[in-house]
Amino acid sequence: MKKYTKYIKPYLFFFIVGPLMTLTEVFGEIWIPRLMSMIINTGVANHNIAYILRIGLVMLGACMLQVSTGVLGGYFSVRAAVGFTGDIRSELFAKVQQFSFADLDDFSTGSLVTRLTNDLQQIQQMVMMGLRMALRSPGMLVGGLIMALTLNRDLALILLVVIPLLGVSIFLIMKTAYPRFTRMQTALDALNNGIKETLTNVRVVKSFVREDHEQDKFEGLNGDLKQRTLDALNTVIFMMPVMTFFMNLTAIAVVWFGGNRIIAGRMLVGDLTAFITYVTQILMSLMMLAMIILQSARSMASFKRVSEVMDFVPDLDDRNAARKDKEVESGRIEFKDVSFSYPDENRIEDDETTSVAMPKAGTGMEARHGAGNDGEDFSVLQHISFTIEPGETVGILGATGCGKTSLVQLIPRLYDATEGAVLVDGVDVRDYSLENLREGVGMVLQYNTLFTGTIAENLRWGNEDATDEEVRKYAEYAQADGFVSSFKDGYDTMIEQGGTNVSGGQKQRLCIARALLKKPKILILDDSTSAVDTATERMINAAFANELKDTTKLIIAQRIGSVKDADRIIVMDDGKIVDIGKHNELIGRCHEYQEIYYSQVERKEEVPA
Ligand SMILES: Nc1ncnc2c1ncn2[C@@H]1O[C@H](COP(=O)(O)OP(=O)(O)OP(=O)(O)O)[C@@H](O)[C@H]1O
Ligand SMILES: [Mg+2]
């Protein structure tokens, strides 16, 4: 709770004045029936028009007070709640930006989106309701009781019977409703996740003609939500009828006992009408109180989920970096006996979402690496050592899943090595500030993306201050200038979300140009020309060799042709380096290399030129 006070501070005025206004509103509301009874008792009974007018005016004043403070109370509460949650949302977003790749593996994107939107919405709702109702309901309850007692102590005894009865009924309804609402929320989360997965991958769905399957999946989740919502609402629909029942019962009792007293001359008519109003207010406020409790209980889950993000300590930071002002200067890379496994999954319990059976994306992959029970080393990377000199071009080759991406990710510290050390310019990467390290290491990720905006804007991600000439120059190196210039709007062509309006190979070349604009000392291309034709790829490599002489280049590829001319080639197999050497050396001595080579050459021969 304490961590939320800092978000309350900027809106403290609204947080205090809102409820104060509400209290004044309650005062007005409690006062009005009393004035009414005075009009009936004295004014109407004695035909005293002047008195009726006078008290009527006071009543009008009370009404104005009630309305204006009600509106202001509402306004301040809304300001407080919206400001409070808006600030938390900004902070959470900033927090998520600090997340490392490993952290992002843990929180699913869907769950983060839900936490930043839905869950915060719930909290906002609760704060708003809390500020409005937390004082209003008890205020009405206490105020109403006091007025009822002062009006007629004996008649108020009826309330002593009714309140506990109503209380027990409400409690029973709530007790059934609460778990049902929790289950409803869980089903809603699952539905959100399902929709998100289908829609973000809608192209894949369509290309596999899996619409029916997705529809079925959706129907399942939707049916679940419908059923659970019905279950939950079926309990609260009893609330109003039960309420009305007790209210009418009380009214009958009050009129019966009160009527007898009036006939006996021991009570005034006006007091009776006022009394009935107070009784209604008291019972209503009881019900509202129950509703608040239910709502806050529901919001508790949201609070927990938001707090989880807020309290999360990113797995990777540079707070303890020893040489924060060090920059990458020459681009020498050294791996010293490096082993690596991906962090344990499920560090975060996504309790709300996992309880409903949902097919999780990514299951059904190859056997997962991790520490095995039989003592065998299942690490993704095992005891890797090598050195790359500044300006060298090094290719990395190996079967799919052998750990190429995992290896290079350690250089810009997207993940940290589990054992051993990765050194850049002789300094442990953990001793750099993340900013300086990543400034010096440009990496084109294997699964890359462009953002909504023009091509020029996208390329300037690498360097905001790049001139038009620079943008063009590096696009030329990446062999992107040609096709960009052929577009009607050239570099001002809009890229759609996710880069769907450029081809796969065009997108890859834009991603390379974007990385080049950073002018990094170390450039890593992770399978970044897989969708580019061989001739174009050769031109990219030639541009690298001629124009980026001082840059250390690490090129992961599936095709031997992509790395054949590299200074050296690292051949990997199952998390280990099997050999390092030039093409000519490897073709003579490395079994794995020969295997890859001949498989690709043979394939070539099968296809007539
Ligand atoms: N984020 C991750 N969390 C857990 N395991 C992962 C993760 N990424 C990859 N792995 C596992 O690590 C192993 C090595 O994966 P990696 O991506 O490094 O292979 P790769 O050589 O780049 O393959 P490809 O040529 O297909 O890109 C694989 O078995 C994979 O299942
Ligand atoms: Mg890879």
- Residue bearing the CA closest to ligand 1, atom 7: 342
Query: Residue 10: pLDDT above 80?
Result: yes
At 492, the pLDDT band (50, 70, 90 cuts) reads very high
Smallest-distance ligand from the CA of 403: 1
Residue 360 has pLDDT above 50, yes or no: no
Read off the pLDDT of each residue in 534-555 and give the average, rounded to a whole number: 92
Q: Minimum mean pLDDT among 97-106, 204-213, 449-458, 467-476: which range?
A: 97-106
Is the pLDDT confidence value at 349 over 50? Answer: no
Looking only at the bridges linking them, the beta strands covering 333-340 and 419-424 are antiparallel
User: How many CB atoms lie under 10 A from the CB of residue 88?
Assistant: 21
Percent of the chain with pLDDT over 90: 55
Atom of ligand 1 nearest to the CA of 409: 18
Q: 344, 366, 377, 406: which to mutate for ligand 1, most atoms within 8 A of CB?
A: 406
Of the pLDDT bands very low, low, confident and very high (cuts 50, 70, 90), residue 21 is very high
Range with the poorest average pLDDT among 51-55, 75-79, 99-103, 111-115: 111-115
Nearest CA to ligand 1 atom 8: 406
Could you tell me the distance, in angstroms and rounded to a whole number, from the CA of residue 367 to the centre of ligand 2? 16
Alpha-carbon distance of 300 to 334, in angstroms, equals 49
Select the highest-mean-pLDDT range: 192-196, 538-542, 604-608: 538-542
pLDDT score, position 18: 92
Give the mean model confidence (pLDDT) for residues 95-100: 88
Arithmetic mean of pLDDT, 435-447 = 91
Number of H helices, E strands in the chain: 22, 12
Residue 490 pLDDT level (bands cut at 50, 70, 90): very high
- Find tokens 């980026």 and name the residue: 548
Judged against a pLDDT cut of 80, whether residue 334 lies above it is answered with yes
Distance 208 CA to ligand 2 centre (A): 24
Does 377 have pLDDT greater than 70?
A: no
pLDDT band at 352 (very low <50, low <70, confident <90, very high): very low
Which residues is 495 bridged to in the sheet? 453
* CA 38 to centroid of chain Cα atoms: 57
Provide mean pLDDT across the span 318-326: 86
Atom 17 in ligand 1: residue holding the nearest Cα: 405
Residue pLDDT, tens place only, 401-428: 999 999 999 999 999 999 999 999 999 9
Domains and CATH numbers, the chain: 2-310 (1.20.1560.10), 380-606 (3.40.50.300)
Residue of 380, 397, 576 best suited for mutating to test ligand 1, as the one with most atoms within 8 Å of CB = 380
Which residues touch 121 (CB under 8 Å, ≥6 apart)? Answer: 85
Name the pLDDT band for 355 (thresholds 50, 70, 90): very low
pLDDT bucket at 313, cuts 50 / 70 / 90:
confident
Alpha helical stretches, state H, 152-268: 157-200, 202-207, 211-236, 239-263
**pLDDT per residue as tens digits for the range 288-312:** 888 888 777 778 878 888 998 898 8
Query: Can you tell me the distance from the alpha carbon of 432 to that of 282, in angstroms, rounded to the nearest whole number?
Result: 65
pLDDT at 296: 79
* pLDDT for position 609: 39
Ligand 1 closest atom vs CA 368 = 31
Of the pLDDT bands very low, low, confident and very high (cuts 50, 70, 90), residue 1 is: low
Please give the distance, rounded to the nearest whole angstrom, from the Cα atom of residue 414 to the centre of ligand 2.
14
Q: Return mean pLDDT, the chain.
A: 87
Ligand 1, atom 30: closest residue by C-alpha:
401
Q: What is the average pLDDT across 530-541? A: 92
Q: What is the side-by-side order of every strand in the sheet holding 333-340? A: 381-388, 333-340, 419-424, 427-428
Distance 443 CA to ligand 2 centre (A): 13
Residue 376 is predicted with a pLDDT of: 57
| Percentage of residues in the chain having pLDDT higher than 70 | 93
Question: For residues 569 and 583, is the Cβ–Cβ distance under 8 A?
Answer: yes
pLDDT at residue 608 is higher than 70: no
Only one residue has tokens 């009006």, namely 151
Q: Which amino acid is at 371?
A: A
Residue nearest to atom 5 of ligand 1 (CA): 342
Half-sphere exposure of 466 (CA within 13 A, CB side): 24
**Distance between CA atoms of residues 522 and 436, nearest Å:** 12
Q: Span 148-156, mean pLDDT?
A: 89
pLDDT band per the 50, 70, 90 thresholds, residue 239: confident
Scored b (16 or more CB within 10 A) or e, 339-372 reads bbbbbeeeebebebbbebebeeeeeeeeeebeee
Query: What's the 403 CA to ligand 1 centre distance in angstroms?
Result: 6
> Does residue 7 contact residue 84 with C-beta atoms inside 8 Å?
yes
How close is the Cα of 20 to the center of ligand 1, in Å? 59
pLDDT in tens, 256-277: 999 999 999 888 989 999 999 9
> Mean pLDDT over residues 476-481, rounded?
94
Closest Cα to atom 24, ligand 1: which residue? 400
Nearest ligand 1 atom, CA 365: 31
Q: In this predicted structure, what is the pLDDT of residue 49?
A: 93
pLDDT number for residue 602: 61
Query: Taking 50 as the threshold, does the pLDDT of residue 9 lie above it?
Result: yes
The ligand 1 atom nearest the CA atom of 407: 18
Write the residue with the smallest CA distance to atom 4 of ligand 1.
342
DSSP state of 9: G
Q: Is residue 240 packed enough to be buried (19+ CB in 10 Å), middle (13-18) or exposed (0-12)?
A: exposed
Q: How far is the CA of 398 from the centre of ligand 2 (A)?
A: 10
Specify whether the CB–CB gap between 522 and 487 falls below 8 A: no
Cα(167)–Cα(171) distance, integer angstroms: 6
Best mutation site among 339, 340, 342 for ligand 1 pocket (most ligand atoms within 8 Å of CB): 342
Indicate whether 204 pLDDT > 50: yes
Give the pLDDT confidence score for residue 365 in this predicted structure.
35
pLDDT of residue 354: 38
Confidence of residue 447 (pLDDT cuts 50, 70, 90): confident
Place of tokens 């939707």: 222
Q: By alpha-carbon position, which residue is closest to atom 29 of ligand 1?
A: 401
Q: Write down the pLDDT at residue 568.
A: 95
Average of pLDDT values for 528-536? 91
What is the arithmetic mean of pLDDT over 1-22? 90
SS3 call for 568: strand
The predicted model gives 216-221 an average pLDDT of 94
Nearest ligand, CA of residue 344?
1
**Protein residues with CB under 6 Å of any ligand 1 atom:** 105, 342, 365-366, 369, 380, 398, 400-406, 446, 527
Q: If you ran DSSP here, which 8-state letter would residue 582 be given?
A: -
Closest-approaching ligand to the CA atom of 526: 2
Cα distances (angstroms) measured from residue 10 to each of 14, 122, 461, 515: 9, 21, 34, 41
- Taking the CA of residue 572 as reference, the ligand 1 atom at the shortest distance is 21
The 8-class DSSP code of residue 567 comes to S
**Separation of 202 CA from ligand 1 center, angstroms?**
24
pLDDT at position 606, please?
47
